[in-house]
Amino acid sequence: MTTHKPLVVITGASSGIGLATARLLSRRGHALLLLARRLEPMLQLQLPNSLALSVDVSDRAAVLAAVAQAEQRFGPVDAIINNAGVMLLGSIATQDPGEWDRMLDINVRGLLNGIHAVAAGMVERKHGTIINVSSVAGRKTFPNHVAYVGTKFAVSGLSENLREELSPSNVRVITIEPGAVETELLSHTSDEAIKAGYNDWKQGMGGVLTADNIAEVIDFAYGQPQSVCIREIVVCATRQQQ
Ligand code: NDP
């Protein structure tokens, strides 16, 4: 007998928003497939009915194989939360273009790989939810964000197009666009002056959102009946002005 709610895939589940969402959806009783490159933080969660795999989302074959393995064990995917991402801020004149490539590979190609792994099955079953984590930087611009903003505008744009395409198949597409959230995200930016300025900006607004705040938002949107699609949620700290 099944003792769990349907399978949810979460990419980028080893820290921040993905990890907080994994905890919350597990409390709700869902089986989970957790994907990220670092396996240990996902194993440490010790969530019941979960499979954690070390997968780079830019590796399409690995994403497909992981989803197939989880479906074999827990049944069809009901939802995917395409959350894995990196933010490498930089001035476009001086930034190493390799950083743009990484962001495009993970934030855009990786997200498309997640969609690819589940869309055909959801269309066939006429049921499912795809949640894409974009950013407020998918709607407006910020200093030193050119390449990152490019990836997040891509996520917001393709998500709306995907929503239109999958809507006749009763598949929901939900775009989450957070403002600043306290996670590991900023730590990968290599320019120390930009990092310091960003931290000052966060402190100037008296602190930012927590990963749990975003997990609650994702849970709320996903928790609506299948006939209700909250298309887009922009969520920022009240004191985030931009
Ligand atoms: P974190 O850095 O804490 O988490 C990012 C997650 O993505 C980690 O689990 C990381 O795991 C995973 N990840 C990175 N690269 C890959 C990869 N190649 N393959 C698989 N997983 C990968 O940051 P957040 O929780 O803040 O970020 C989550 C999402 O939220 C991102 O898409 C980000 O752009 C978005 N966002 C964040 C905001 C913020 O202020 N924090 C604001 C708006 C949007 P690992 O390194 O183990 O692979």
Q: Is 200 exposed, middle or buried (0-12, 13-18, 19+ CB in 10 A)?
A: exposed
Long-range contacts of 225-231 (CB under 8 A, 24+ apart): 226/127, 226/129, 226/170, 226/172, 229/163, 229/167, 229/172, 229/173, 229/174, 230/174, 231/160, 231/163, 231/173, 231/174, 231/175
**pLDDT, tens digit (0-9, with 9 covering 90-100), for 63-80:** 999 999 999 999 999 999
Helices 60-74 and 111-125 pack at an angle, to 10 degrees, of: 40
Number of other CB atoms surrounding residue 48 within 10 Å: 11
Q: Is residue 106 within 6 Å of ligand 1 at its C-beta?
A: yes
Residue indicated by tokens 């769990």: 4
Ligand 1: which of 9, 10, 11, 17 to mutate, judged by most atoms within 8 Å of the beta carbon?
Answer: 17
Q: Is residue 178 within 6 Å of ligand 1 at its C-beta?
A: yes
Position 231 scores a pLDDT of 98
Position 7 scores a pLDDT of 98
Helices 146-166 and 111-125 pack at an angle, to 10 degrees, of: 10
Rounded CA-CA distance 160/232 in Å is 9
Q: DSSP characters for 104-144? A: IIIIIIIHHHHHHHHHHHHHHHT-EEEEEE--GGGTS--TT
Ligand 1: which of 37, 209, 217, 234 to mutate, judged by most atoms within 8 Å of the beta carbon?
Answer: 37
Q: How far is the CA of 41 from the centre of ligand 1 (A)?
A: 13
In this structure, the residue with its CA closest to atom 48 of ligand 1 is: 37
Position 240 scores a pLDDT of 97
Q: Across the strands, what pairs with 210?
A: 182
Long-range contacts of 96-105 (CB under 8 A, 24+ apart): 96/190, 99/147, 99/190, 100/147, 100/150, 103/147, 103/148, 103/150, 103/151, 104/147, 104/150, 104/151, 105/58
Q: How far is the CA of 106 from the centre of ligand 1 (A)?
A: 9
Q: How far is the CA of 1 from the centre of ligand 1 (A)?
A: 35
Tokens in use for 18? 């993905």
Q: Which residues are catalytic?
A: 148
Q: How far is the CA of 184 from the centre of ligand 1 (A)?
A: 8
Position 73 scores a pLDDT of 98
Q: Is residue 218 within 6 Å of ligand 1 at its C-beta?
A: no
Q: Is residue 111 within 6 Å of ligand 1 at its C-beta?
A: no
Ligand 1: which of 63, 83, 195 to mutate, judged by most atoms within 8 Å of the beta carbon?
Answer: 83
Position 1 scores a pLDDT of 62
Tokens in use for 122? 């959801």
Sign of CA dihedral 167, 157, 116, 172: negative
pLDDT < 70 stretches in the chain: 1
Prediction pTM value: 0.98
Q: How far is the CA of 217 from the centre of ligand 1 (A)?
A: 17
Q: DSSP characters for 182-235? A: ESSGGGG---HHHHHHHHHHHHHTT--EEHHHHHHHHHHHHTS-TT----EEEE
Q: Is residue 84 within 6 Å of ligand 1 at its C-beta?
A: yes
Q: Is residue 133 within 6 Å of ligand 1 at its C-beta?
A: yes
